[in-house]
Chain A
Amino acid sequence: MAVKVPIHLTVNGSEMDVELAANMTLLDFLRDRLRLTGTKECCDLGECGACTVLVDGRSVNSCLALAVEADTSAITTIEGLARDGRLNVLQDAFLAAGAVQCGFCIPGHVMAAQHLLTKNPHPTMAEIREGLSGNLCRCGGYVQICEAVRAASAPR
């Protein structure tokens, strides 16, 4: 039961072995150790959703998880969505809809929407709002954000 704990995990497709202090959150590990600063730190209470990442495909507040809990897990952050330098469909939809104002909440919103669309590829507007209800936007740009998710989910 050393204070430093060895863990093995996958972040955005890269496997890694690291030793971490048990009192480091997953959020701090991603931002401070891996320099993946797309995931934002905001309320640190699980109320705003800015720190949302996927842990084994499920949306999670990374500020409420200890990094050592992620042992053997696969983490996806906002940096992990693009493929070969191209944004994914959802990211493109956010740009096309003008859903980004100050931008601070957007990585969290995109990750929450990514989880929603994986579970429910064609959500209704009510389901989109419910799916994003764990994320706050202080600019108040919810209409465009929901529209972006609807556009990304439209049959094509």
Chain B
Amino acid sequence: MQPFAYARPATLSEAISLLAEHGSGASLLAGGTDLVVALRNRTLTPKVVIDLKRVAELRPGIRGDGGAITINATTVLADVGEDQRVQARFPALVDAAATVGSIQIRNRATLTGNICHASPAADTAPPLLVYGAVVNVAGARGTRRVNLEEFFIGPGTTSLQSGELVTSIELPAAEERLGAAFARITRRRGVDLATVSVCCLVAASGRTTFAYGAAAPRPFIVRDESGVLADPATGDAAKDEVLKQLLTRASPISDVRGSRDYRAAMLLVLSRRLLHTSIERLRAA
């Protein structure tokens, strides 16, 4: 690791000033499970590392008012998965959070970091997308809200501007009954990145949403507003037609985890299974 200075701001305004002062020479540190690997590999060589864990406004915490939930930036994945409100209202996020890395990683890595790293395979991205997550951003020019759908630009790239950071992630209250499920394919059970990941959400109105990870340069969301997928009268062949149409946006690559064709095939298989599970969960809801 190359030498760098270490800053531990106590307030958000202090953190934003540091970020403005150092620009691209600064790296933000929360859980560090991605950052420290990049520092060691020297894929990142910052002049200063800004540790956000002491920033009062970003301290770990989950607030739930009404049906909505706000998850502060330094909240670790283990705490997201164990929160009873998240379990009750956003179970697919719990399923996904429980697959990230290992227990040791989840005790350290943050939900916000998982999103800001902007890996196409980020496990929590598909559930956050189907639940309509909103990212709260702060910078020298003030605060703004970004729909997660518009947050991911490409591998490793978000819509954060220079000098901005994420303060929290919001999950809006459900307006109707929902059934949702998440699954991914990996080569081994633990400590692996997703070969593909899928999250499905079926609403009582019949609206069906899918979000896909490791299937394109960024996680993406697609919707079936027709109600065909959620309709118990629709046959398997007709459902497959709709799923294949939704999956035309997928452009998986071939790499060490799987070939393009394998990924495409598994996207369809997981979509079928998760549609089934989501409908069952909606019935039970």
The answer to whether B3 and A61 touch across the interface, beta carbons within 8 angstroms, is no
The answer to whether A49 and B107 touch across the interface, beta carbons within 8 angstroms, is no
Q: Closest A-chain residue to B49, C-beta based?
A: A22
Q: Which residues of B contact A44 (CB under 8 A)?
A: 40
The answer to whether B3 and A3 touch across the interface, beta carbons within 8 angstroms, is yes
The answer to whether B4 and A23 touch across the interface, beta carbons within 8 angstroms, is yes
Cross-interface CB contact of B108 among A64, A71, A131, A133, cutoff 8 Å: A64
State the interface size on chain B (CB cutoff 8 A). Answer: 30
Q: Does A5 contact B (CB under 8 A)?
A: yes
Q: A133 with B32: in contact, given A3-B5, A23-B39 (CB under 8 Å)?
A: no
Q: Does A65 contact B (CB under 8 A)?
A: yes
Q: Does B16 contact A (CB under 8 A)?
A: no
Interface centre among A1, A58, A116, A135 (most CB of B within 10 A): A1
Q: Closest A-chain residue to B82, C-beta based?
A: A119
Chain A: minimal CB distance from B25 (Å): 12
Q: Does A143 contact B (CB under 8 A)?
A: no
Interface centre among B1, B48, B102 (most CB of A within 10 A): B102
Q: A22 with B6: in contact, given A64-B32, A133-B190 (CB under 8 Å)?
A: yes
Q: CB within 8 Å of A: which of B11-28?
A: none
Interface centre among A52, A61, A64 (most CB of B within 10 A): A64
Chain A: minimal CB distance from B66 (Å): 30
Chain A: minimal CB distance from B103 (Å): 5
The answer to whether B6 and A59 touch across the interface, beta carbons within 8 angstroms, is no
The answer to whether B2 and A23 touch across the interface, beta carbons within 8 angstroms, is yes
Q: Mark contacts of B244-269 with chain A using CB atoms, 8 A cut-off: 1 yes-contact digit, 0 otherwise.
A: 00000000000000000000000000
Q: Does B56 contact A (CB under 8 A)?
A: no
The answer to whether A49 and B7 touch across the interface, beta carbons within 8 angstroms, is no
Cross-interface CB contact of B102 among A5, A24, A49, A65, cutoff 8 Å: A49
Q: Does A60 contact B (CB under 8 A)?
A: yes
Q: Closest A-chain residue to B102, C-beta based?
A: A134
Q: Which residues of B contact A115 (CB under 8 A)?
A: 103, 107
Q: CB within 8 Å of B: which of A25-55?
A: 25, 44-47, 49, 52
Q: CB within 8 Å of B: which of A69-122?
A: 69, 71, 112, 115-116
The answer to whether B32 and A69 touch across the interface, beta carbons within 8 angstroms, is yes
The answer to whether A47 and B103 touch across the interface, beta carbons within 8 angstroms, is no
The answer to whether A60 and B6 touch across the interface, beta carbons within 8 angstroms, is no
| A/B interface sample: 8 pairs, CB < 8 A | A22-B3, A23-B1, A46-B101, A46-B191, A49-B102, A60-B108, A61-B105, A115-B103
